[in-house]
Amino acid sequence: MRALVTGGAGYFGTLLVNKLLQQNYEVRIFDLNRPDPPIPGVEVVQGDIGDMSALANACKGMDVAFHNVAHNPLAKDDALFWAVNRDGTANLLRASLEQNVAKVVYTSTSAVFGAPKILPVTEETTASPMEVYGRAKLAGETVCHEYAARGLDASIVRSPTILGHGRLGIFQLFFEWIYRGSNIPVLGGGKNKFQFIHADDLADACILASQRKGAETYNCGADRFGTMREAIEHLCRYAGTGSRVRSLPLGPIVLGMNIASALRVSPLAPYHALMYGRPMYFDVTKAKTQLGWRPRYSNEEMFVDSYRWYVANRESILHRSDGASRHQIALGEGALFLVRWLL
């Protein structure tokens, strides 16, 4: 099998590429950047998701395309969300149809549901994104449905927030605070039940979805999880650095987070303000039943796995500032230092 991985130099894309190689796929990466470090035996096509000629060359001869190119909430750029997450997805699907790619798997997100009133979220739950990132990712899903109606076998795999070894971005700040023994905030007591997914489990789900004929949508996440407070307290105990969980009021803090984000003095985005203190979790029955997928990591296990990797690689992480994706580099805490000081 010959697989194209768009965004294959990013955090999740790199992990997916290595999983495919372990299963004897021939892999081609399409990305603006080259993987760092290089991945032996993998062809790399560098290009922009808006370049149809480059996409056509990348899709040529492929059996399956895994589409992961997206600007995540940290980008805080509405124009980029629409240009990449919606229009870029349309470009990839068009190139796949024209080049006779047999299957496309689009990696989507729980953000398309905003802050749902009824839980758990199923594949039948009406999407209702509440910020631009979620709306643009939902638009990408809509394009998938449109191309499926035209004969392209395009499936959607939705994930909640991804964790796992190598996951940085906002979590790098979170892990650094724990490493230093700083206290960690939760909102409204941290009683919100919240589901994460380990990148390894998500990669397994994407590969299984690619092997099943028919355009389908699957919600995937951990099947062992509890509240936000429980997960963080477990990690604090594991780290043993003296960090404690402290509760902050939901309303005023969310307002402050949104203002700081709008002023660009905080790395947090509107999606983080929306969801950190609210419950969100999927019913993963369909993925288990149709794909035979079984998530291996609980929330607590993936937090520990991610933190342990961070500590082992901390020195190199803090000095990396190249063209890697936002999930692969250290972020400046900006105005968040005030929260750390108050705690």
The full set of domain ranges for the chain reads: 2-162+195-219, 166-194+225-279+299-342
Measured at the alpha carbon of residue 170, what is the angle toward residues 165 and 174, in degrees to the nearest 5?
80
- Rounded distance between C-alpha atoms, residue 133 and residue 72, angstroms: 7
- Give pLDDT, residue 321: 57
* The residue to which tokens 């796995």 are assigned: 305
Q: Largest Cα–Cα distance in the chain?
A: 57
HEC per residue, the chain: CEEEEECCCCHHHHHHHHHHHHCCCEEEEEECCCCCCCCCCCEEEECCCCCHHHHHHHHCCCCEEEECCCCCHHHCCHHHHHHHHHHHHHHHHHHHHHCCCCEEEEEEEHHHHCCCCCCCECCCCCCCCCCHHHHHHHHHHHHHHHHHHCCCCEEEEEECCEECCCCCCHHHHHHHHHHHCCCEEEEHHHCCEECCEEHHHHHHHHHHHHCCCCCCEEECCCCCCCEHHHHHHHHHHHHCCCCCEEEECHHHHHHHHHHHHHCCCCCCCHHHHHHCCCCECECCHHHHHHHCCCCCCCHHHHHHHHHHHHHHHHHHHHCCCCCCCCCCCCCCCCCHHHHHHHC
* The residue to which tokens 């700081």 are assigned: 260
- Give pLDDT, residue 335: 63
Structure tokens at 118: 């009824």
Greater pLDDT, 7 or 264: 7
Structure tokens at 206: 């994407």
Sign of CA dihedral 17, 19, 20, 26: positive
pLDDT digits (tens, 9 = 90+) for 227-279: 999 999 999 999 999 999 999 888 887 788 778 777 777 777 777 878 889 99
Contacts of 330-338 with C-beta under 8 Å, sequence gap 24+, read: 330/168, 330/172, 330/176, 331/74, 331/168, 331/169, 331/170, 331/172, 331/173, 331/267, 332/267, 333/173, 333/267, 334/260, 334/265, 334/266, 334/267, 335/260, 335/265, 335/266, 336/173, 336/266, 336/267, 336/268
What's the mean pLDDT in 318-333? 59
pTM for this structure?
0.93
- Give pLDDT, residue 322: 54
Provide the CATH topology of domain 2-162+195-219.
Rossmann fold (3.40.50)
- Give pLDDT, residue 331: 64
- Give pLDDT, residue 125: 98
* The residue to which tokens 């919606």 are assigned: 86
Does residue 327 surpass a pLDDT of 50? Answer: no
pLDDT digits (tens, 9 = 90+) for 187-242: 999 999 999 999 999 999 999 999 999 999 999 999 999 999 999 999 999 999 99
- Rounded distance between C-alpha atoms, residue 27 and residue 83, angstroms: 26
